[in-house]
A = this chain, B = another copy of it.
Amino acid sequence: MKYENRKDEIIQTAALLFKEKGYSAVTMRDIAKAVGVRAASLYNHIKSKQEILSEIIIALAEQFTCGMNVIQDAEISSVEKLKRIVKLHVDITANNQNGMASLNNDWMHLEADLDYYLRLRKDYENDFRTILNEGIAKGELINFDSEVMLFSILSTLRLLYGWIPRREELNPNYLADKLSGVLLEGVIR
């Protein structure tokens, strides 16, 4: 059972098209054709093109917020928290590669939900920053510029969506492990 219902089918189909061409370049007629229906029929299930984008992005942003809250409250080392963040990104991305493209590239086309999205993203980044600074303070992490560390790790995790699909043979646990290794331990012997 690939889709829960027609609305879900429309949203998932749209997410695929948004990933390939971006939100603005995809028309309601494109989505309709991919679903096998006329453009006007889409409006029996969704309110607007905007609503499709919002449902894709907000659902994902809330998954990240939720996952981060769990990690933050766990009583584990800072390094372990970083590993769980990597795992969080790998898991969410593996389950929704197409939607992650919209989250990364089309968030600025949100209208009603733009402020809400920006708040979620800012909070997420602040939580991430806090974990890094705690790790530095406790001596678990090298005392590099924590902004550079945040940017470096997060940008890799953000582009996972365009990379995972090409290596479907990999299971998420293996990938999260390897990625944690490279991101946290570096590449120099």
Contacts and interface: CB of A to CB of B under 8 A. Distances in A.
A66 interface: no
Given A108-B20, A185-B188, A152 B167 contact: no
The interface centre, meaning the residue of A163, A167, A184 with most chain B CB atoms within 10 A of its CB, is A163
B189 A139 contact: yes
Contacts of A142: 185-189
Interface stretch (A34-42, A43-51, A54-62, A175-183): A175-183
A153 B179 CA distance: 11
B21 A22 contact: no
A132 B188 CA distance: 11
Contacts of A148: 175, 178-179, 181-182
A149 B184 contact: no
Given A158-B155, A188-B142, A22 B20 contact: no
A76 interface: no
Contacts of A181: 144, 148
A188 to B, nearest CB: 5
A103 B149 CA distance: 24
A4 to B, nearest CB: 29
A118 interface: no
A90 to B, nearest CB: 12
Nearest to A26: B24
Q: Which 10 A-B pairs have the closest CB atoms?
A: A186-B186, A155-B159, A24-B24, A24-B25, A185-B186, A155-B156, A148-B178, A152-B182, A152-B156, A142-B189
Given A22-B24, A105-B105, 17 more contacts: A21-B108, A21-B109, A22-B22, A22-B108, A24-B24, A132-B187, A139-B189, A141-B188, A142-B185, A148-B178, A148-B182, A151-B156, A151-B159, A153-B187, A155-B155, A185-B186, A185-B188
